[in-house]
Amino acid sequence: MLIVTGTIGVDTIHAPTGSAEGVMGGSAAYFAAAASHLAPTRLVGLVGEDWPQEHRDVLQSFDGIDFDGVEVRAGGATFKWGGRYFDDMNQRETLFTELGVLQDTPPTVPEGFRDSRYVFLANSHPAVQANLLAQFPDRAIAVCDTMDLWINIAQDDLIALLKQVDGVVLNDQEAMQLVETRNVVDAGRKILELGPTFAVIKKGEHGAVLVHRDGVAVVPAFPADHASVVDPTGAGDSFGGGMMAHLARLDRTDFEAIQESLAWGTIMASFTIGSFGLTGLQEADETRIQERMDRYRSMARIG
């Protein structure tokens, strides 16, 4: 069974395509919404009493998400994040981060979730990620995500976490920041020296590279025209969701399976970027996902 831990938040986004205030967001929310289309997904996350009912309704509209691990902390405030995209939508800056309940004790993993085998630690404080990881003794694979904030303010905790996970998913800028290497393959190899068996380095519209102890693999992004890129927020988490859900449904963790799973991550991310918040993922269904995968396969044919 697949589980994700991470943030559930309220986002404010400014992009060249428009702005959206107070939309459903958070690393675990995007992950779970994307993953749940492919495999049942357990969600663990903490919100405050101010968490809007509409956001709960949005998350609950995804049939494959098991909500037992979503905890409302009395008196707490929900995590809030604001970001602004530049004209090149591969580039963004954080406008504000209000941690709220994320500064409290992490959420409790329900007893019934502890036997999870496919574990994704979506973006959150690396010490919190490590605390949650310890609660899954039966795991077949644990993969974490991170971001610039944690590389800046909690690097020691992140290095300690990397010793314990099998894989890490991060974007090219974060990888370069972490290991101070501009070349993506070299950066991946340096990350493996820190502990993981593999690193997936995402390059936005330029696809992703897998650097694994057993080899290197590459996937192109799903080509999106100007009109199809409305808001890239959550693309990374959705990529992680598609990837891990595919591994969970194959029940495999080998190099070939991970390589194959990157294509599913790419497809799920392509739904996310089409709208603000989780709307793009709400509009995805089995038929649309399969259609897009078929188109992607034929576009990527290498003879």
Q: How far is the CB of 279 from ligand AMP (least distance, A)?
A: 13
Instruction: Identify which of 231, 225, 295 has the alpha carbon closest to the alpha carbon of residue 267.
Output: 295
226: exposed, middle or buried (Cβ count in 10 Å: 0-12, 13-18, 19+): exposed
Q: Which stretch binds ligand AMP (CB under 6 A): 63-71, 131-139, 211-219, 229-237?
A: 229-237
The reply to whether 253 sits near ligand AMP by the rule CB under 6 A is no
Q: Which residue's Cβ has the minimum distance to ligand AMP?
A: 25
Quick one: DSSP state of residue 114?
T
Q: Which stretch binds ligand AMP (CB under 6 A): 37-45, 104-112, 159-167, 231-239?
A: 231-239
For ligand AMP, which residue of 3, 128, 235, 278 counts as binding (CB under 6 A)?
235
Q: Which is nearer to ligand AMP, 123 or 259 (CB)?
A: 123
Q: How far is the CB of 303 from ligand AMP (least distance, A)?
A: 33
Q: Which stretch binds ligand AMP (CB under 6 A): 5-13, 111-119, 159-167, 188-196?
A: 5-13
Query: C-alpha distances in angstroms, 245 versus 60, 108, 129, 161, 283?
Result: 18, 23, 19, 22, 18
Say if CB 95 and CB 14 are below 8 A apart.
yes
Q: Which stretch binds ligand AMP (CB under 6 A): 50-58, 62-70, 182-190, 234-242?
A: 234-242
The reply to whether 71 sits near ligand AMP by the rule CB under 6 A is no
Sheet holding 18-25, edge to edge: 18-25, 9-15, 79-85, 92-98
Residues 123-182 that bind ligand AMP (CB under 6 A): 123-124, 147, 149
Query: C-alpha distances in angstroms, 192 versus 167, 187, 209?
Result: 9, 9, 14
The reply to whether 26 sits near ligand AMP by the rule CB under 6 A is yes
- Number of residues forming the site for ligand AMP (CB under 6 A): 17
Amino acid 224 reads A
Q: Which is nearer to ligand AMP, 1 or 149 (CB)?
A: 149
For ligand AMP, which residue of 3, 34, 46, 81 counts as binding (CB under 6 A)?
81
Q: Which stretch binds ligand AMP (CB under 6 A): 35-43, 44-52, 232-240, 251-259?
A: 232-240
Q: How far is the CB of 277 from ligand AMP (least distance, A)?
A: 8
Q: Which stretch binds ligand AMP (CB under 6 A): 23-31, 54-62, 103-111, 188-196?
A: 23-31
Residue 178, H or E segment: helix 172-179
Instruction: Identify which of 233, 302, 248, 249 has the alpha carbon closest to the alpha carbon of residue 17.
Output: 233
Say if CB 45 and CB 79 are below 8 A apart.
no
Q: Which is nearer to ligand AMP, 148 or 186 (CB)?
A: 148
Instruction: Identify which of 175, 205, 203, 208 has the alpha carbon closest to the alpha carbon of residue 190.
Output: 175
Number of other CB atoms surrounding residue 274 within 10 Å: 17
Number of other CB atoms surrounding residue 232 within 10 Å: 22
The reply to whether 25 sits near ligand AMP by the rule CB under 6 A is yes
| Binding positions for ligand AMP, rule: CB under 6 A | 7, 9, 11, 25-27, 81, 97, 123-124, 147, 149, 233-237
